[in-house]
């Protein structure tokens, strides 16, 4: 039992959940290392939503509101961490939820779909094809989902796939705590925040947004600004430690 008074309580509980989900096959073993990298960057960022990330979350909401065919791509880590939050975002945005895995097996797709469905998501089913310009199963996606989407939210996505989606002229919103990752560098809009903070924030913003404001917000998105903001936050925190 982890005592609630432990200063790292939230992180320890989350690790326990990730370990349970890895044992049941929802999270890939490799996903545990990806989680660790995320934790490290969250430590550096201060485990809060920075003003830059909050701004990116507002623009992400605007992209959902103005999209014709938005899709939320969900992997094992994201489902383990925040299936409920995905269901809420789907309810508010009307986006399609698609399970899309780097370590793709039918068994894991079924398990992740079950978690999402239990949380209240409607998960896309139907034909898949290799529509993303990547080799092997990593290029597979749903024809009525990612393949034809205009806006795609990719939490915790691999850099290659984020770049491939951008090359297909899609608007890619990444959620990734690492300002140096290729995902963050290549996404149209990098949300540099922890996924369990970022997704509810996008949903909250979406609830209060009108179309006219949204149309203004999505004009001339400068993804690099959010990378710079996150790096300046980390730099400032590191220097503060030395003072």
Half-sphere exposure of 108 (CA within 13 A, CB side): 22
Contact 74, 97 (CB under 8 A): yes
Name the residue with the smallest CB distance to ligand ATP: 38
Query: What residues form DSSP beta bridges with 99?
Result: 74
In whole angstroms, the minimum distance from the beta carbon of 174 to Mg ion comes to 12
In whole angstroms, the minimum distance from the beta carbon of 183 to Mg ion comes to 7
In whole angstroms, the minimum distance from the beta carbon of 39 to Mg ion comes to 17
Question: Residue 200, interface with Mg ion (CB under 5 A)?
Answer: no
In whole angstroms, the minimum distance from the beta carbon of 33 to Mg ion comes to 11
Question: Residue 176, interface with Mg ion (CB under 5 A)?
Answer: no
User: For residue 191, how many other CB atoms are within 10 A of its CB?
Assistant: 32
Exposure class string for 82-112: b at 16+ Cβ within 10 A, else e: bbbbbbbbbebbebbbbbbbbebeeebbebb
Question: Quick one: 142 or 161, whose CB is closer to ligand ATP?
Answer: 161
Question: Quick one: 150 or 160, whose CB is closer to Mg ion?
Answer: 160
Chain residues binding ligand ATP by CB under 6 A are: 34-35, 37-38, 41, 81, 156, 158-159, 175-178, 181-183, 194-195
Question: Residue 159, interface with Mg ion (CB under 5 A)?
Answer: yes
Please tell me the count of residues contacting Mg ion according to CB under 5 A. 2
Burial class from Cβ neighbours inside 10 Å (0-12, 13-18, 19+) for residue 23 reads exposed
Question: Quick one: 158 or 229, whose CB is closer to Mg ion?
Answer: 158
DSSP reduced 3-state for 190: strand
- Interface residue with Mg ion, options 57, 88, 157, 158 (CB under 5 A): 158
In whole angstroms, the minimum distance from the beta carbon of 217 to Mg ion comes to 29
Q: How far apart are CA 41 and CA 142, in angstroms?
A: 32
Q: Applying CB under 5 A, which residues contact Mg ion? A: 158-159
């Amino acid at each position: 039992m982890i005592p609630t008074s432990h200063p790292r309580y939230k992180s320890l509980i989350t690790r326990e959940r990730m370990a349970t989900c890895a044992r049941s096959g929802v999270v890939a073993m490799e996903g545990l290392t990806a989680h660790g990298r995320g934790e490290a960057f969250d430590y550096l960022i201060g485990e809060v939503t920075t003003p830059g990330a909050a701004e990116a979350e507002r623009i992400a909401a605007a992209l959902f509101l103005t999209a014709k065919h938005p899709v939320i791509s969900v992997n094992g880590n994201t489902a383990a961490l925040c299936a409920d939050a995905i269901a809420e975002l789907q309810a508010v945005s009307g986006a399609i939820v698609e399970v899309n895995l780097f370590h793709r097996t039918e068994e894991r797709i079924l398990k992740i779909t079950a978690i999402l469905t239990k949380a209240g998501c409607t998960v896309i089913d139907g034909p898949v094809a290799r529509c993303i310009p990547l080799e092997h199963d990593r290029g597979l996606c749903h024809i009525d989902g990612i393949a034809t989407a205009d806006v795609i939210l990719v939490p915790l996505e691999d850099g290659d796939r984020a770049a491939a989606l951008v090359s297909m002229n899609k608007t890619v919103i990444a959620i990734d705590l690492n300002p140096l990752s290729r995902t963050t560098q290549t996404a149209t809009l990098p949300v540099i925040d922890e996924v369990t903070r970022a997704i509810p924030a996008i949903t909250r913003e979406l609830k209060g947004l009108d179309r006219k404001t949204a149309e203004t917000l999505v004009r001339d998105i400068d993804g690099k600004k959010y990378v710079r903001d996150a790096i300046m936050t980390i730099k400032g925190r590191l220097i503060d430690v030395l003072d």
